[in-house]
A and B are shown apart, each in its own frame.
Chain A
Amino acid sequence: MRRLRPTVRILPCLDVRDGRVVKGVRFAELVDAGDPVDLAARYAAEGADEVCVLDISATGRGRDPDVQLVSRVRAALNVPLLVGGGVRTLEQARALFDAGADKVALNSAAVKNPGLIDALAARYGCQSVVLALDARRSARVPSGFEHVARSGSADTGLDAVAFAQNAECRGVGEVIATSVDRDGTGTGYELELLRALRKAVHVPLIASGGGRRTADFVAAAKAGADALLAASLFHFGRQTVAGLKRALARRGIALRPLETQGDLP
Chain B
Amino acid sequence: MRRAVYVLDTGAANLASMECALRRAGARTAVGLDPTRAKDAFALVLPGVGAFGPAAQQLQSAGLDVVLQRRIDEGAPTLAVCLGMQLLSRASAESKGASGIRVFDIRAERFSAGVRTPHLGWSPIEADSTCTLLRSGWAAFAHSYRLAEAPVGWQVAWCERGERFVAALERGSVLACQFHPELSGAFGARLLGDWLARASGGNPRAGPGIRLRQSVRGVR
Report A's interface with B, CB cutoff 8 A.
1-4, 6-7, 9, 44, 49-50, 71, 74-75, 78-81, 97-103, 122-128, 173-174, 202-204, 226-227, 256-257, 260-264
Stretch at the interface among B34-42, B64-72, B185-193, B199-207: B185-193
Q: Is the CB of A9 within 8 A of B122?
A: yes
Nearest-neighbor residue (CB-CB) of B191 within chain A: A262
User: Which chain B residues border A126 with CB–CB below 8 Å?
Assistant: 118, 144
Question: How many residues of B are counted as interface, with CB atoms below 8 angstroms from the partner's CB atoms?
Answer: 49
Q: Is the CB of B118 within 8 A of A1?
A: no
Cα(A157)–Cα(B22), bound, Å: 47
Stretch at the interface among B10-18, B99-107, B168-176: B10-18
Q: Is the CB of A257 within 8 A of B138?
A: yes
Q: Is the CB of B161 within 8 A of A127?
A: no
User: Which chain A residues border B109 with CB–CB below 8 Å?
Assistant: none
User: Which chain A residues border B134 with CB–CB below 8 Å?
Assistant: none
| B 77-136 contacts with A by CB, 8 A | 83, 116-118, 120-124, 126, 135-136
Cα(A98)–Cα(B135), bound, Å: 30
A263 with B142, Cβ < 8 A, contacts A1-B164, A7-B122 known? no
| B 1-59 contacts with A by CB, 8 A | 11-12, 14-17, 20-21, 24, 49-51, 54
Q: Nearest Cβ distance between residue B121 and chain A, in whole angstroms?
A: 5
The 6 nearest A-B residue pairs measured at CB: A262-B187, A100-B16, A127-B118, A256-B122, A127-B142, A261-B186
Q: Is the CB of A6 within 8 A of B160?
A: no
Q: Is the CB of A260 within 8 A of B218?
A: yes
Q: Is the CB of B183 within 8 A of A49?
A: no
Q: Is the CB of A124 within 8 A of B12?
A: yes
Cα(A7)–Cα(B186), bound, Å: 18
User: Which chain A residues border B136 with CB–CB below 8 Å?
Assistant: 263-264
Cα(A80)–Cα(B121), bound, Å: 8
Q: For the A-B complex with A78-B185, A80-B180 known, give 13 more contacts whose Cβ atoms are closer than 8 Å.
A: A4-B160, A79-B185, A97-B12, A123-B12, A124-B12, A125-B144, A173-B120, A174-B120, A203-B118, A204-B116, A261-B185, A263-B219, A263-B220
User: Which chain A residues border B50 with CB–CB below 8 Å?
Assistant: 123-125
Report B's interface with A, CB cutoff 8 A.
11-12, 14-17, 20-21, 24, 49-51, 54, 83, 116-118, 120-124, 126, 135-138, 140, 142-144, 158, 160-162, 164, 180, 182-190, 218-220
User: Which chain A residues border B160 with CB–CB below 8 Å?
Assistant: 1-4
Which of A123, A124, A227 sits near B121, CB closer than 8 Å?
A227
Q: Is the CB of B117 within 8 A of A203?
A: yes
Cα(A98)–Cα(B189), bound, Å: 21
Task: Pick 6 A–B contacts, CB within 8 A, sort by A.
Answer: A80-B180, A97-B14, A99-B16, A125-B49, A227-B120, A262-B185
Q: Is the CB of A125 within 8 A of B83?
A: yes
Q: Is the CB of B138 within 8 A of A79?
A: no
Q: Nearest Cβ distance between residue B91 and chain A, in whole angstroms?
A: 17
Nearest-neighbor residue (CB-CB) of B220 within chain A: A263
User: Which chain B residues border A78 with CB–CB below 8 Å?
Assistant: 21, 24, 182-186, 188-189
User: Which chain A residues border B12 with CB–CB below 8 Å?
Assistant: 97, 123-125
User: Which chain B residues border A2 with CB–CB below 8 Å?
Assistant: 160
Cα(A101)–Cα(B15), bound, Å: 10
Q: Nearest Cβ distance between residue A165 and chain B, in whole angstroms?
A: 16
Q: Is the CB of A44 within 8 A of B83?
A: no
Q: Is the CB of A102 within 8 A of B117?
A: no
Which of B120, B126, B138, B142 sits near A226, CB closer than 8 Å?
B120
A44 with B185, Cβ < 8 A, contacts A263-B136, A263-B220 known? yes
Which of B20, B49, B116 sits near A202, CB closer than 8 Å?
B116
User: Which chain B residues border A97 with CB–CB below 8 Å?
Assistant: 12, 14, 16, 49
Cα(A4)–Cα(B121), bound, Å: 14
Q: Nearest Cβ distance between residue B146 and chain A, in whole angstroms?
A: 12
Q: Nearest Cβ distance between residue B149 and chain A, in whole angstroms?
A: 15
User: Which chain A residues border B16 with CB–CB below 8 Å?
Assistant: 71, 74, 97-100
Q: Nearest Cβ distance between residue B24 and chain A, in whole angstroms?
A: 7
User: Which chain B residues border A71 with CB–CB below 8 Å?
Assistant: 16
Q: Is the CB of A7 within 8 A of B187?
A: no
